[in-house]
Structure 1
Amino acid sequence: GDTSVLAALYGPAEAKGNKELPERAALEVLLRPKVGLPGVVERSREQLLRQTCEAVLLGRLHPRSSISLVLQVLGDAGSGLFWLCSPLWGSPPPLNPPPPPCRPPCCLNAACMGLLDAGLPLSCLFCGVACALHPDGSLVLDPTARQEQEARAVLTFAIDSAERKVLMATTKGTCSIEEMQQCIAAAQSAADTIFRFYRDSVRRRYSKS
């Protein structure tokens, strides 16, 4: 669609000062908005992205080093990444979160492709998928900005490529447990298409033909 994110990865390099971790690489994720300077919303997104990347990055193979992943939003047409509401990391959502600008699952996909292109050791790949639940109960994958505004709830998932497990989940709005399970199943199915895109992209990049 019209959503695009540019990823740049630097490292592994020597860690400086208090950023050094003796047993693994220190991963830093920086999210740059399309316009303006990053704020509190971007910082919260950076934490979600970093935790997702750390779940698959074999950082113990590069101890005492630092890795920086910079994500620059170039275009934003929807499929947002919202406040964490999943117990996966045991972090409750804020009581009165401000309405954040859209930060698409495209950030998750760009982050994974950046790690993959840099040749860093990964236990598996991951991808981001967004689902919008409309008031009539219908489900839309990869919603546009207008569809997100009209939706009763928008859920975003990070799915791994090994067992299709949910690495991260965020939500905006309310939904039942059954509806969340329905969205997870749809996201896991859609992840197959994204992983095929990963393989095709890498094949084209490194093909000699």
Structure 2
Amino acid sequence: MSKKAATNAAKDKLREMQCKFNPLSRSDGSVMYSQGATVVIAAVLGPIEVKTQNLSIEGSYLECNYRPKAGLPQVKERIREAAIRDVLELALLSEAYPRSKMSLQVQELEDRGSTDACALNSACLALLIGGLPLKYSFAAVHCIINEQGEFVLDPELNETLRQQASFTFAFDSVDGNLLLVQTKGAFKIAQFNDIECICRAASAQIFDFYRSNLAKYHGRSAENDSSSTDLPMET
């Protein structure tokens, strides 16, 4: 990150991240994920039976649905849904399960800013906890340029009301390649490059969050399995 980017950054830290694994019982994997006050729940099913019209011998069919907190999906939700599907199509190892379907359902619970990135991060965690085959995990980060020209990483909703431009990036965990770039508003190429650097650095924090929470979850699962098998037998 350049010196100019560092001085321009009004807020260069992600909001607090939290997650709860498998809050839903009727799925192969689910997660309730939050960044700040933004909360999203994602659930996966698969591989499961696929309808004949969607059957492919080359790989599994991917179904992705995004639901707003209230009402029916509108254009904004359809765009968000398409972005999630695009990233999943890159990350999923679909050829591992041909003639089948993998389904992702994302439900918005609270929109308090950076929801595009939060939805993608919840989707990744749901895929990981559900055991779906991935080429790599991915992390999404949102950043804006506010009306003072400052960079604001992972902004709250009220911080985006008078923004000059907004950016959402998604990176893979292996090579750090860009999987998604969404931009809106007017900006300079130099600003784009600086914000990409800021978001790339922030994605490392999200990958660390994934690793630590998955390790804790699987550690608890192993302890539970061990305690159940070590119970003394009645005579």
Which band: TM-score by shorter chain? 0.7 to 0.9
**Counterpart residue number, 1:38:** 73
Sequence identity (%): 39
- Corresponding residue SS for 2:131: coil
Cα deviation for residue 150 of structure 1 reads: 2.2
Partner residue of 1:130 out of 117, 131, 142: 142
Cα deviation for residue 190 of structure 1 reads: 0.2
Would you say the 8 A contact 1:76–1:104 is kept in 2? no
Structure whose alpha-carbon radius of gyration is higher:
2
Tell me how far apart the structure 2 counterparts of residues 50 and 135 of structure 1 sit (CA, whole Å).
32
Counterparts in 2 of 1:172-183, with a 5 A limit? Answer: 172-183=184-195
Letter in 2 for 1:166: L
1:6 is the counterpart of 2:18: no
- Unaligned residue ranges in structure 1 (runs of 5+): 80-102
Cα deviation for residue 21 of structure 1 reads: 1.6
**Counterpart residue number, 1:113:** 125
Tell me how far apart the structure 1 counterparts of residues 173 and 128 of structure 2 sit (CA, whole Å).
13
Residue by residue over 1:139-189, the C-alpha shift from the partner in whole angstroms, topping out at 9 and shown as x without a partner, is 110001111112211111111111211100112211111111111100100
Cα deviation for residue 137 of structure 1 reads: 2.6
- Unaligned residue ranges in structure 2 (runs of 5+): 1-35, 224-235
- Corresponding residue SS for 2:161: helix
**Counterpart residue number, 2:158:** 146
Residue by residue over 1:65-117, the C-alpha shift from the partner in whole angstroms, topping out at 9 and shown as x without a partner, is 101100000111011xxxxxxxxxxxxxxxxxxxxxxx431000001001111
Cα deviation for residue 120 of structure 1 reads: 1.2
Letter in 2 for 1:129: V
**Counterpart residue number, 1:63:** 98
- Corresponding residue SS for 1:150: coil
**Counterpart residue number, 1:97:** none
**Counterpart residue number, 1:188:** 200
Tell me how far apart the structure 2 counterparts of residues 136 and 36 of structure 1 sit (CA, whole Å).
35
**Counterpart residue number, 1:90:** none
Letter in 1 for 2:187: C
**Counterpart residue number, 2:17:** none
- Corresponding residue SS for 2:206: helix
1:16 is the counterpart of 2:51: yes
- TM-score normalised to the size of structure 2? 0.76
Would you say the 8 A contact 2:65–2:105 is kept in 1? yes
Cα deviation for residue 40 of structure 1 reads: 2.9
Letter in 2 for 1:39: Q
Between the two proteins, the alignment pairs up a number of residues equal to 186
Report the aligned-residue RMSD.
Answer: 1.2
Letter in 2 for 1:14: E
Cα deviation for residue 46 of structure 1 reads: 1.2
- Corresponding residue SS for 1:168: strand
Cα deviation for residue 200 of structure 1 reads: 1.0
Would you say the 8 A contact 2:80–2:116 is kept in 1? no
Tell me how far apart the structure 2 counterparts of residues 21 and 43 of structure 1 sit (CA, whole Å).
24
Give the helix-richer structure, 1 or 2.
Answer: 2
- Corresponding residue SS for 1:171: strand
Would you say the 8 A contact 1:3–1:104 is kept in 2? no
